Structure 1
């Protein structure tokens, strides 16, 4: 018995000495749960809105050593990670990363969808049972209630009996709310009407004091005062097209869509504009660090989770396009912001004691004007005109007024009640719509979603449509545009298709229990949550269909 006691004492002394040495070196040791399973101090998930996979390498030689380059060198990159569904849209992407499943199961089929019972569009995070906290606007009437499954953040909370703290941060409400999950301690997003960070009564009755103090600083005004010029001499932006292009959209108040952008115009007003500048990412990551400090995240015996989304990359992309100087400058500035963020995490928790992953909710197409001037295929589809013309034809032919109730996400929603009341032939109306769509130069095909299995579409596109379809929220007719065509304006770009420019996204893990490397094996957005669940030894989200990326973990 005495020998056992002596052995235990020696073991304890050695362990304490190791901990003391680590502490002297400034390294925080990873926590242990009560059942003895090692987990990181904190997990930080970063979704970079509209980050095409190729952005990891397009500007690689201009990145700092501590930002994207460090992520690629020290992390594990699943180079061929794809979105398995369509439409490839913000809300769908954020929810699918964190639920490990697709819109067909988690129910988030778009940023908006048509609600046949309400006879209006439903916003993905809309919740009229809650109110805004932090401002007097309607920007906080939001919650995750429309998401039908749990998230990996919910599962972490469940696995630790709700001791783990989960917080979401993003300029966009949907970029914060959906990743944070149903059981989050908090989700914060930016109110463009006031320039403040807000939340809703779903999470709390009032903003914490630290966030009230943060809002008083009016960070947007501080960055507006800097204006937006290029980080480096503009003639060094050789990966971009010329700065002054008529297919780029100028900001209200500006004479041209060119550098320098006079942001001083917006000080004290029009706080929405900060979203369309790289400074929107800067203030997002600044708030993320502030939240870690104020909420003491990663500083107790359980693993916490900070879900962050950088939304400005999406706003900039929509306005100027992927080949713009503005897009390049935004990613070069985000790279420097990431370098600073990683340095902070290193100092706060110690290298190897936090788990970080980066992905994107979708990519983006090149602007049709840019494609055309370089003799490449691309264009826009005037959906509104087709929508109006079809309804007029259906009314003449079948005596049904406004038979097509709405169009969203490349889908036409039919008014089944009106069609039934008029005793019209539903299948004949569908056939008319499909055949008319097929005559349009921009349209590759159109399908009745109830008959998808019998179509001659390629199997990959069928799968993509199937995974994006939830019967109660999706449309009746889906049209597929030709590559590099999209519904939208002549300036800027958008996304939403199955094509690689929209569906190929980065997926890189770094830090705790991650061995550096790469794989070109095909993985999917839905595999991220499954990988986290496997690494943490917790249950996968309730609708998860993903597969763990086993190559990235230490065996």
Structure 2
């Protein structure tokens, strides 16, 4: 009995020691992804994904929703929600006050000239016409991106390639050391700029020679689903007398009857630009051998799909056009995932999908729901402000570029004129803000002096607007219109750019079998969380300006 009892104690002790050793042993980290794919759908409100999810196919958005982690309460958490600012946030993890991209266009305070978020006169498009303010480099992006950190950590062996229908969509994802390709409205080509290389690699030349953009000439964009599927959408706009039809069927042609810039520009509206973008992304995967890096390091592919933004601007997110485009985009993404599965294996791929901003409904749709909504003519507003300041201070043209409201919501004052006429900037700002806040549709105005002295505090909106303010680049005043109002001088369509939830709430989906726990997450999340999360999984340092958190609740 004593012998058996001692033996039992010995066995139990041995088992306990083995268990403790096993518990103490570090858990092996899963292998790094071979390829990280970051998809940005330009102008996609999260509510559209939720509203139309039952109609998605099996392999696109539905796959992300069911096999990935998705956040219903994710936001572009800054106050000026436009394409450039949103794209800059995705892989920098930074807010505009740090990354420096405060809008698509703004005014250089030193010269009084308008600048563009990715313009750089030192570089030009390769083989394409380059105009002033065309986007050719990331010079105005003041921080690093995830791709930059990945290349730094790998000794530049990791490849970072981005493609978009817009220059700013590609360039701001690529960062300082990646390679960006963008759609050319004049020719329908995808091209890079001399910032990245002297000439295109052979695979790009081969792709361009095939002229895939020409195959849509004379084709129509028709409804994908039965008519009944669109019963709750707004009807198509009335045909334009003597002009192009704006509803279904939407035709692709040019007034000249030739393959010209009119046709290539028209391709932006509807599904075919996105189809071309994903086709070029496939060519990049093969041409650069992405996901099969000989150095054994991960690669990064950024794809910004621009057409949904063009469709929503023209017709509104409540339209049949927008609804159908999202369904078609869903099938395109499914096809792209299927391609990656065969080429690399989706078990080796990490996918993130998000958007740069949401969208307001058209004013007419909001009015039909008994919501006060109008368009604000930005040019008239700026001219009125200039006249008011001249009346108060006896100095004309205190508002820089007052004849153009196209850099709103930023408003710039002429500091040289104020100094010359011994005017205090704070006095002029206060007078301007008081007049603006009395105008129809204007909710609030944030002043430079107020923000820099810490006076714009307390509310969620003020936090977003302070994040949107960059000391060197932003205006002296930033205008916030009332909910559902927006700046636009036309009589149709809609836009974005506000701190309201319909503009900030965007999809955030992360999928990767080895790294991510699938599920619907109700926690608050921000787009700036993407870069730190990917940096954690890729075992590289976060980008320099990153302020987001690692989405630890999603990690295996």
Give me the TM-score of the superposition, normalised by structure 2. 0.89
Q: Which piece of structure 1 moves more, 133-142 or 62-71?
A: 133-142
Alignment of 1:91-240 (within 5 A): 91-138=84-131, 142-184=136-178, 186-240=179-233
8 Å CA contact 2:170–2:182 kept in 1: the answer is yes
Distance in 2 between residues matched to 1:402 and 1:142, nearest whole Å: 32
Alignment partner of 1:478 is 2:469: no
8 Å CA contact 2:116–2:134 kept in 1: the answer is no
Alignment partner of 1:279 is 2:285: no
**Partner in structure 2 of residue 27 of structure 1:** none
Higher gyration radius (CA): 2
- Cα shift at 1:210: 1.7
> Alignment partner of 1:54: what SS?
helix
Q: 1:272 to 1:451 in 2, by over 3 A?
A: same
Q: 1:36 to 1:532 in 2, by over 3 A?
A: closer
Alpha-carbon displacement from aligned partner over 1:133-185 (angstroms, at most 9, x marks no partner) = 1313338651011100000111111111111000010010010011111011x
Alignment partner of 1:79 is 2:72: yes
Alpha-carbon displacement from aligned partner over 1:180-230 (angstroms, at most 9, x marks no partner) = 11011x210011011111111111111122212212232222123322111
**Partner in structure 2 of residue 291 of structure 1:** 284
Q: 1:446 to 1:36 in 2, by over 3 A?
A: closer
> Alignment partner of 2:192: what SS?
strand
**Partner in structure 1 of residue 251 of structure 2:** 262
Alpha-carbon displacement from aligned partner over 1:401-445 (angstroms, at most 9, x marks no partner) = 210104523121101011111222433222221111111121112
8 Å CA contact 2:93–2:545 kept in 1: the answer is yes
Distance in 2 between residues matched to 1:480 and 1:415, nearest whole Å: 21
**Partner in structure 1 of residue 448 of structure 2:** 449
**Partner in structure 2 of residue 46 of structure 1:** 39
- 378, 383, 402: which one pairs with 1:388? 383
Q: 1:397 to 1:431 in 2, by over 3 A?
A: same
**Partner in structure 1 of residue 349 of structure 2:** 354
- Cα shift at 1:241: 1.0
Distance in 2 between residues matched to 1:176 and 1:115, nearest whole Å: 23
Q: 1:36 to 1:550 in 2, by over 3 A?
A: closer
Q: 1:231 to 1:102 in 2, by over 3 A?
A: same
8 Å CA contact 2:118–2:134 kept in 1: the answer is no
Alignment partner of 1:310 is 2:310: no
Distance in 1 between residues matched to 2:84 and 2:129, nearest whole Å: 25
8 Å CA contact 2:375–2:487 kept in 1: the answer is yes
**Partner in structure 1 of residue 415 of structure 2:** 416
8 Å CA contact 2:441–2:482 kept in 1: the answer is yes
8 Å CA contact 1:169–1:189 kept in 2: the answer is yes
Distance in 2 between residues matched to 1:375 and 1:363, nearest whole Å: 21
> Alignment partner of 2:107: what SS?
strand
> Alignment partner of 2:268: what SS?
helix
Distance in 1 between residues matched to 2:29 and 2:545, nearest whole Å: 28
8 Å CA contact 2:367–2:373 kept in 1: the answer is yes
8 Å CA contact 2:441–2:485 kept in 1: the answer is yes
Equivalent residue pairs, number: 515
> Alignment partner of 2:553: what SS?
helix
Structure 1 unmatched ranges of 5 or more: 1-34
> Alignment partner of 2:170: what SS?
helix
- Cα shift at 1:307: 0.6
Distance in 2 between residues matched to 1:71 and 1:340, nearest whole Å: 13
Structure 2 unmatched ranges of 5 or more: 1-27
CA RMSD of aligned residues (A): 2.0
Distance in 2 between residues matched to 1:53 and 1:364, nearest whole Å: 10
Distance in 2 between residues matched to 1:228 and 1:65, nearest whole Å: 22
**Partner in structure 1 of residue 491 of structure 2:** 490
Distance in 2 between residues matched to 1:439 and 1:528, nearest whole Å: 40
- Cα shift at 1:37: 7.6
8 Å CA contact 1:369–1:490 kept in 2: the answer is no
Distance in 1 between residues matched to 2:287 and 2:456, nearest whole Å: 56
- Cα shift at 1:391: 1.2
Distance in 1 between residues matched to 2:197 and 2:298, nearest whole Å: 22
8 Å CA contact 2:151–2:158 kept in 1: the answer is yes
Q: 1:225 to 1:217 in 2, by over 3 A?
A: farther
Alpha-carbon displacement from aligned partner over 1:378-398 (angstroms, at most 9, x marks no partner) = 111122112112212322332
Alignment partner of 1:402 is 2:401: no
Q: Which piece of structure 1 moves more, 445-454 or 159-168?
A: 445-454
Alignment partner of 1:322 is 2:324: no
8 Å CA contact 2:456–2:466 kept in 1: the answer is no
> Alignment partner of 1:264: what SS?
coil
Distance in 2 between residues matched to 1:52 and 1:539, nearest whole Å: 30
**Partner in structure 1 of residue 529 of structure 2:** 527
- Cα shift at 1:240: 1.3
**Partner in structure 2 of residue 11 of structure 1:** none
Q: 1:497 to 1:245 in 2, by over 3 A?
A: farther
Q: Which piece of structure 1 moves more, 135-144 or 490-499?
A: 135-144
Q: 1:264 to 1:396 in 2, by over 3 A?
A: closer
